[in-house]
Structure 1
Amino acid sequence: MSSFRPGRLVGILVGTVVILGFGVYGPATLLGPLPPVTAFTVTPAATATAPTPPVLPANGASAITVLAATTSDASGTTSTRAEGSQPSAPIAVAGTAEALPLASIAKVVTALVVLDAKPIVAGESGPIVTLTAADFQSYLDYDKAGARSVAVFADEQWAELELLQALLLGSSNNHADTVARWAFGSVDAYVVAANAWLSDNGLTGTSVVDATGLHDASAGTATDLAHLAGLAATDPIVSSMLASPATALANRRGVQNTTSYLPEEGITGVSRSYTDAAGVCFLFTATVSDGASSFTFSGAFIGEPTYDALTADLTALMASARAGVGPLPVLAAGDAYATFESAWGDEASAVVGVSRTRYAWQATTPEAATVELKDFATARTGANVGQVRLTVAGEKLSAALKLDQGIADPGPGWRLLHPIVMITALLDQ
């Protein structure tokens, strides 16, 4: 007959706990997930060039905005970026932010709105328009008032392209009214359509009450008008007109090109005009190039006191452009944006894998980069561990972040000796 022995029972219980403990502890530590690395964001040494702000006049209002940039890298790869249809943040602005009378810049609006309603196929001249007695009377009225005009007669036939050439190149006031009436039935109907077009294109600080800009209430902000210059310069019909100005229109009638100004500075004029209320107003694009890459921006100067002032201010702007535009090492390969440390002592960094260089105008100090990192415990050298995003010269850029050296599994010894860390990692998962 056996007797009850408490010591033996305790031994059995202890043995059972030990066996069960090893049955759970072993798999939990040897096979369980490792704790993720601890990440710390860092700021790399500055690689961008020092900001070189554009020189803009204090007179009136002015603004410039990116139009397009073409960059060729060492491998011969060429990339082109262009501004979208909606206004982007300007490179720089100066003067008043209020809407000012815009003089004949209003005719650029007229041309684009008419082309939107009555498009012309590239390489063609568009429909033929028979001029009316009202068109002839407009010519007589503007000519008598001493306003810019190009002669027309009733029953003459002009192609739409010729009407637009007289409007834009000759800054003809009577042609502004003529194309407005032809495309929309009346100048009043045109005004409604033009203001809707301005709103649709994000130019909410600009409005017109006529097709010519002679009325002081046709006004716009410099930021809007700089974008308008870009819209005109990228329209295939308008850009073709500006590149190859007509020397003669219907019936061999001559037209003086009023848009060209300081082409030797790399400037292409879009509209140049003066009224007592508006002062000197100039819409333009300009290009800076190093032969392999180029940077084009559009701009608006409104309310300049004289043409001499306009010349001096444009010359100063272009000097600052040549000093400020160049290749910017935006994201340099090897720059670290984060460091990692594992619980078992391994360390590594998240670095830019491939350099990103832009031919641009660094007008202001770049914004701080935004870093997004992945959660991981182990990873091989070169693994993608996140992304860095930043905005430089108005352009949003990003690059993948790579691990500069691997973080490996610490092995069974470390796992078995750190049960709390391992079980916590298992519970967290």
Structure 2
Amino acid sequence: MSSFRPGRFVGILVGTVVILAVGVYGPATLLGPLPAVTATKSIPGDSVTAPTPPTLSANGASAIAVLAATTSSASGTTSTGATGADSTGTAVPPPIAVAGTTEALPMASIAKVVTALVVLDAKPIVAGESGPRVTLTAADFQSYLDYDKAGARSVAVFADEQWTELELLQALLLGSSNNHADSVARWAFGSVDAYVVAANAWLAENGLTGTAVVDATGLHDASAGTATDLAHLAGLAATDPVVSAMLASPASALANRRGVENTTSYLPEEGITGISRSYTDAAGVCFLFTAQVSDGASSFTFSGAYIGEPTYDALTADLTALMASARAGVGPLPVLAAGDAYATFESAWGDEASAVVGVSRTRYAWQAATPAAATVTLKDFATARTGANVGQVRLTVAGEQVSAALKLSEGITDPGPGWRLLHPIVMITALLEQ
């Protein structure tokens, strides 16, 4: 008959514990995952150049937007930045700066730029060609007579004569011809009313939701837009190959050697390329343009809109002040400097390191305002070698998003079996979390 032996029981219990310790605790600590490092995000000081705001007009409304920046180097010319919206109706990016009212104001002949772009969207012209020939009608001749009698800008036409689409657009944009605005709208869409429907749909598709037209000429006060929208409209016009070529080489004679005065040019000596310049009693002086600042190796181009200027003298003074502020504010910006730390890491066993910018990102741009805080995304890790990619930093500068990879400044290595065995709670917690 057997009897209970306490010593034997204790021995079995101790043996079981030892077996479990060797079979479970050992592998859990020696082979299990290490706890992830603790990350603390930080913002390096003096990483962004102090802003130099543009000098905009105190009259009406004005805005400027990034168009492009180019930098020449040994490897060639690089360009960054653009304006406008994509075909899905994405909202336009924020402007560099805005002044005056944010309400839509009458835009005078800037509406003709909308007309040109909408017609080109519906009836595209192959680069280097003139497009189809259009036979003008009695209605086109009557439009010319009506506008000429009213003292509105017009370019002479006659019934049954032929103009190419390009010549119609040149008269429209360069000559600011009101009768050509109506003629090209009727030709492309069947009627001015049908054009208006198409134009407002085009504006919405391009993110210009604060702008609307009720005619093709802009003579109607209800054809109005916000300065922000119109600055981006200038960018859309300047990057259209047909319009940009037209502005770069303005025609002096059109169909049948018809003379045309270029109304767009204004202050070219300041680096300004005019796209539309006009005046009505309701709108005041309105000007759509692009401008460029260059240091010889790099250049920065922006688009702009001034609406509601009281006089041409006021426009001249305001544009001169703007370009002076541009020459002072545009330059190379150390946006993301190599070595700048955007996070620090500490491991449970005491190793420390930083997430630093690996390669500098600079931009030739206009830092018009203090940028929003950088967005930092970090990877989860327990160990990594020096220089490992541990995240990314993004920053919006002058309307452009710039990013750089973050690298580990010092390696964080495995602490070894001794530390693992002496920290069972930390190791088992890491195992359970996985």
Mean alpha-carbon deviation: is it higher for 58-67 or for 118-127? 118-127
Q: Could you tell me how far 1:25 is from its partner in structure 2?
A: 2.1
RMSD: 1.7
Structure 1 residues 125-176: Cα deviation after superposition (integer angstroms, max 9, x where no partner): 1111222222122111111111111111222221111111111111111111
Contact 2:394 2:403 in 1 (8 A): yes
Of 240, 244, 247, 2:245 maps to: 240
Question: Partners of 2:74 and 2:41 in 1: how far apart?
Answer: 31
Q: C-alpha distance in 1, partners of 2:77/2:215?
A: 47
After TM superposition, give the deviation of residue 2 of structure 1 in Å.
8.8
The answer on whether the counterparts of 2:81 and 2:400 sit within 8 Å (CA) in structure 1 is: no
* Runs ≥4 residues deviating over 6 A: none
Partner of 1:264: 269
- Cα distance change, pair 37–125 in 1 and its aligned pair in 2 (3 A): same
Task: Kindly indicate whether residue 166 of structure 2 is the aligned counterpart of residue 164 of structure 1.
Answer: no
> 1:317 offset after TM fit, Å?
0.6
- Bigger shift: residues 264-273 or 65-74: 65-74
TM-score by length of 2: 0.94
Aligned to 2:144, the other structure's residue is in SS state helix
Distance in 2 between the 1:239 and 1:228 partners? 13
Q: Distance in 2 between matches of 1:131 and 1:74?
A: 53
1:19 aligns with 2:24: no
Check conservation: 2:68, 2:79, Cα contact below 8 A: no
Q: CA-to-partner distance for each residue in 1:196-254, whole Å, 9 max, x for gaps?
A: 22122221111111111111111111111111111111111111110001011112121
Q: Give 1:426 deviation, angstroms.
A: 1.7
Q: CA deviation at 1:187?
A: 1.6
- Would you say how many aligned residue pairs link Structure 1 and Structure 2? 424
Distance apart, 1:302 and its partner CA: 0.3
- C-alpha spacing 1:7/1:105, structure 2 compared with 1 (3 Å): same
1:73–1:383: structure 2 CA closer, same or farther, 3 Å change rule?
farther
1:3 CA displacement: 7.3
3-state SS, counterpart of residue 77 of structure 1 = strand
Residues of 2 paired with 1:16 and 1:217: CA distance?
90
Q: Is the 8 Å Cα contact of residues 289 and 304 (structure 2) preserved in structure 1?
A: yes
Q: 1:116 to 1:76 in 2, by over 3 A?
A: closer
SS of structure 2 residue aligned to 1:230: helix
SS of equivalent to 2:81: strand
Contact 2:141 2:158 in 1 (8 A): yes
| Residues 413 and 210 (structure 1), Cα distance of their counterparts in 2 relative to 1, 3 Å cut | same
Q: Compare 341-350 and 195-204 and name the one that shifted more.
A: 195-204
CA contact (8 A) 2:70 2:77 kept: no
**Deviation of residue 80 (structure 1)?**
3.2
Deviation (angstroms), 1:343: 1.1
Work out whether residues 144 and 156 of structure 2, in 8 Å CA contact, stay in contact via their aligned partners in 1.
yes
How far apart are 1:4 and its partner, in Å?
Answer: 5.8
Residues 22-31 or 301-310, more deviating: 22-31
Q: Which residue of 1 aligns with 2:60?
A: 60
CA positional deviation for 1:389: 1.6
* 1:11 to partner: Cα distance: 2.8
Q: What does residue 131 of structure 2 align with? A: 126
Q: Pick from 231, 234, 240: which aligns with 1:226?
A: 231
Structure 1 residues 240 and 74 mapped into 2: Cα distance closer, same or farther (>3 Å)?
closer
Deviation larger for 8-17 or 367-376: 8-17
**CA distance in structure 1 between the aligned counterparts of 2:66 and 2:348, rounded to whole angstroms:** 48
Query: In structure 2, do the counterparts of structure 1 residues 30 and 246 end up closer, same or farther at CA, with 3 Å as the change threshold?
Result: same
| 1:282-320 Cα deviation digits (max 9, x unpaired) | 000011112222111111000000000000000111111
Closer/same/farther in 2, CA of residues 57 and 77 from structure 1, 3 Å limit: closer
In structure 2, distance between residues paired with 1:75 and 1:47: 26
Give 1:71 deviation, angstroms: 2.9
**Cα deviation digits, residues 373-417 of structure 1 (max 9, x gap):** 111111111111111122111112221111111011111111122
Deviates more, 1:69-78 or 1:243-252: 69-78
Any stretches of 5+ residues in structure 1 without a counterpart? 85-89
- Looking at structure 1, the residues matched to 149 and 276 of structure 2 have their Cα atoms a distance apart, in angstroms, of 23
Matching residue within 405, 411, 416 for 1:406: 411
> Any idea what SS the aligned residue of 1:119 has?
coil
Change in Cα spacing, 1:75 to 1:200, as seen in structure 2 (3 Å) is closer
Q: In structure 2, do the counterparts of structure 1 residues 334 and 98 end up closer, same or farther at CA, with 3 Å as the change threshold? A: same
Aligned ranges 1:106-121 → 2 under 5 Å: 106-121=111-126
| TM superposition shift of 1:65 | 0.8
1:63 Cα deviation after fit: 0.8
Secondary structure, aligned partner of 1:93: strand
Aligned to 2:87: none
Query: Cα 1:334–1:20, aligned 2, differ >3 Å: closer, same or farther?
Result: same
Offset of 1:74 from its aligned partner?
7.2
Q: Do the aligned partners of 2:212 and 2:224 also contact (CA within 8 Å) in 1?
A: yes
Q: Which residue of 2 aligns with 1:306?
A: 311
What is the Cα deviation at residue 72 of structure 1?
Answer: 3.9
Deviation at 1:366, TM superposition (A): 1.1
